[in-house]
Amino acid sequence: MELLSTNVSFEGEHRRYRHTSATLECDMEFAVYLPPAAVGSNPKKVPVLYWLSGLTCTDQNFMQKAGAQKRAAKLGMAIVCPDTSPRGLNLPGEDDSYDFGSGAGFYINATQQPWAPHYRMYDYVVKELPQLVENELPVTDKRSISGHSMGGHGALIAALKNPGRYASVSAFAPIANPTECPWGQKAFKGYLGEDTRSWEEWDATLLIPTARERLPLLVDQGTSDEFLDSQLNPDALADACEKFHHHINLRMHRGYDHSYFFIASFIDDHLDHHAEALGL
């Protein structure tokens, strides 16, 4: 790992790294916040919250806008924030739109060309990146996962598909039923092909019935989110959870939108939720 930058923050450190990803066959950048306990001359290993960001984001949006460091420092929790897709591969159509290609990996494993060799963000965030972080940084293998919008979708499917891997999961305004919304349909058709049956394993709402682990879901959603009705559909997820007795705490917040103002308003609740599950 190549250290790109470091900033002291609430007595801990925010760092940015670059590494060569074998999974994605390209260089990737990610950010990590290490709390005070994990830095200095005698660093202590701490558990990690993996944060998955939304469409168009890089590793930097959450770290600069969410205001998570103060609470994470107090709790003794590291936060790892990957990028949202490979970058600069010069694939045809890679940079044509905000909701497909660069900045829009959707945390799935592509099967269609030319995306399949590189757009394997699911394997990257679930397997390769945690292994790298746990090998190279003062963190434990106790993990939680959260995210926003496209990243909320990623967090939910990562937890639902990997029983025992995460202590807890939460999401802000997730794309909860991507097979039934324009963002998800565009991405899944491009990355996975025309067979909609192959899409189902990447849809949190459709994974609820067969989930082998019933981690409680904490989901926050703003009522003034411009994407609520057309793209996010938290009600479908809540209905599936009710039908199959999967605990969900869907909190609707009046007047909040899809922005980082919303995330910053409730991020401490999510950090506390994960800290309890991680034993902090």
Q: For the chain, how far is it from start to end, CA to CA, in angstroms?
A: 28
User: Which single residue is written with the structure tokens 């019935």?
Assistant: 209
Cβ-based neighbour number of residue 172 at 10 Å: 29
Tokens at 149, concatenated: 């919008």
Please indicate whether residue 149 is annotated as part of the active site.
Answer: yes
Q: Are 192 and 108 in contact (CB under 8 A)?
A: yes
| Active-site residue, selected from the candidate residues 59, 203, 220, 225 | 225
Q: Which of 85, 149, 168, 170 does the annotation list as catalytic?
A: 149
Answer yes or no: are the C-beta atoms of 78 and 46 closer than 8 Å.
Answer: yes
258, 270, 273, 274: which one is catalytic?
A: 258
Is 27 one of the catalytic residues? no
State the catalytic residues: 149, 225, 258
